[in-house]
Chains A and B, each alone.
Chain A
Amino acid sequence: MKLVTFVSDYKINVDTLDRLKPEKLGIVLVENGVYHATTKENGNPSSLLNHSADYYVLLNDLETRGLTADDVIDSKVKVIGFGDIVDLIFNDYDKTAWL
Chain B
Amino acid sequence: MGKLTIGCFSSLVGSMTLDWAVKLSGAAIEKGHKVDLWVSGNATMLSIQDQRAFKDYSSLEKPLKELMAKGLNVTACEACAEARGYNKDNTMEGFKRFSMDWYLASTFNADRVLHIGGE
Residues of A within 8 A of B (CB): 6, 8, 30-31, 60-61, 64, 81-83, 85-87, 89-90, 94, 96, 98
Q: Do B20 and A89 have beta carbons less than 8 Å apart? A: no
A-B contact count (CB 8 A): 47
Tell me the interface secondary structure of chain A in the complex.
Answer: helix
Bound: A60/B23 CA distance, A: 10
Bound: A61/B112 CA distance, A: 23
* B interface size (C-beta, 8 A): 20
CB distance from A38 to the nearest CB of B (A): 17
Residues of B within 8 A of A (CB): 2, 4, 16-17, 20, 23-24, 26-28, 30-31, 33, 111-117
CB distance from A56 to the nearest CB of B (A): 14
Bound: A90/B2 CA distance, A: 8
CB distance from A7 to the nearest CB of B (A): 12
Complex contacts, B30 vs chain A, CB 8 Å? 83
Q: Do B31 and A86 have beta carbons less than 8 Å apart? A: yes
Complex contacts, A85 vs chain B, CB 8 Å? 24, 27
Q: Do B112 and A98 have beta carbons less than 8 Å apart? A: no
Q: Do B112 and A94 have beta carbons less than 8 Å apart? A: yes
Complex contacts, B111 vs chain A, CB 8 Å? 90
Q: Do A89 and B112 have beta carbons less than 8 Å apart? A: yes
Q: 11 A-B pairs, CB-CB below 8 angstroms?
A: A6-B116, A82-B24, A83-B27, A86-B24, A86-B27, A86-B28, A89-B4, A90-B2, A90-B112, A96-B113, A96-B115
